[in-house]
Amino acid sequence: MSDDRLAQQIAFLVEADKLKQVIRRTPLADGSRKENSAEHSWHLVLTAIVLREHSADDVDLLRVLEMLAVHDLVEIDAGDTFAYDTQDLVTKAEREQAAADRVFALLPPDEAARLRTLWEEFEAHESADARFANAVDRLQPLLQNASAKGGSWRDYDIDRGQVLQRMAPIERAVPAAWPLVLKIVDEFCASGLLRTSPARTGSDRSA
């Protein structure tokens, strides 16, 4: 019985290794290459540990770290969906649910249920733990984009309003970091790497 559990857990852990091959849009801080979702997940864990004191709400840090450790596992099947790719975002939920059905189910049922529930809590953005975890997941790539002077927005038609909307969870969950977010975004606008307003006229987007 315990042997079966261990064998299932090991199979899950070996499968999880594939997250190291899922490449994100965010560059490393020195711009030398794009980061993968496994090292990104580690960086979020570290960020949550270090910035916990700035959380607007009381959080259970252990739950936050567990959430961050598993939050991208579905990408093993579903791939990384770029946050500003509206077409890809349409199918994201469906692809990720199917991935969760397979990946978490490698674990013993009780552990699979517990970690999948944590992942769903992260995706729902509702609990204090999930709000803090999501804020951390927004802030770390922004810091790397700032350090690498460009990164994910350079090749896409993205404007200031879109970035600030994407970063909004930071304002609520880690308000102390919001002035820094605005400063980084404004510097990107000033340097011409980010549009100040939407590019297309006559689109259905509002500024």
3-state SS record for the chain: CHHHHHHHHHHHHHHHHHHHHCEEEEECCCCCCEEEHHHHHHHHHHHHHHHHHHCCCCCCHHHHHHHHHHCCCCHHHHCCCCCCCHHHHHHHHHHHHHHHHHHHHHCCHHHHHHHHHHHHHHHHCCCHHHHHHHHHHHHHHHHHHHHHCCHHHCCCCCEHHHHHHHHHHHHHHCHHHHHHHHHHHHHHHHCCCCECCCCCCCCCCCC
- Does 162 bind a copy of itself (CB under 8 A)? Our answer is no
Task: Tell me: does residue 49 bind a copy of itself (CB under 8 A).
Answer: yes
Q: Determine, following the binding rule CB under 8 A, whether residue 182 of this chain makes contact with a copy of itself.
A: no
128-157 positions binding a copy of itself, by CB under 8 A = 140, 143-144, 147
Q: Which of 65, 78, 133, 167: binder of a copy of itself (CB under 8 A)?
A: 65
Q: How far is the CB of 182 from a copy of itself (least distance, A)?
A: 14
Distance of CA 50 to the CA centre of its chain: 17
Size of the site for a copy of itself (CB under 8 A): 49
Q: Which of 24, 25, 35, 103 binds a copy of itself (CB under 8 A)?
A: 35
| Dihedral sign (CA 23, 24, 25, 31) | negative
Does position 9 interact with a copy of itself (CB under 8 A)? The reply is: yes
Q: Which of 98, 124, 176, 190 binds a copy of itself (CB under 8 A)?
A: 176
C-beta separation of 57 from 172 below 8 A: no
Asked if 16 interacts with a copy of itself (CB under 8 A), we say yes
Q: Nearest distance from residue 6's CB to a copy of itself, in Å? A: 6
**Cβ 184 vs Cβ 144: under 8 Å:** no
Residue from 54, 92, 95, 195 binding a copy of itself (CB under 8 A): 54
CB of 57 to a copy of itself, least distance (A): 17
Residue from 32, 87, 203, 206 touching a copy of itself (CB under 8 A): that is 32
Summarize as ranges the residues that interact with a copy of itself (CB under 8 A).
2, 5-6, 9-10, 12-14, 16-21, 28-30, 32, 35-36, 38-39, 41-43, 45-47, 49-51, 53-54, 61-62, 65-66, 69-70, 107, 111, 115, 140, 143-144, 147, 176-177, 180
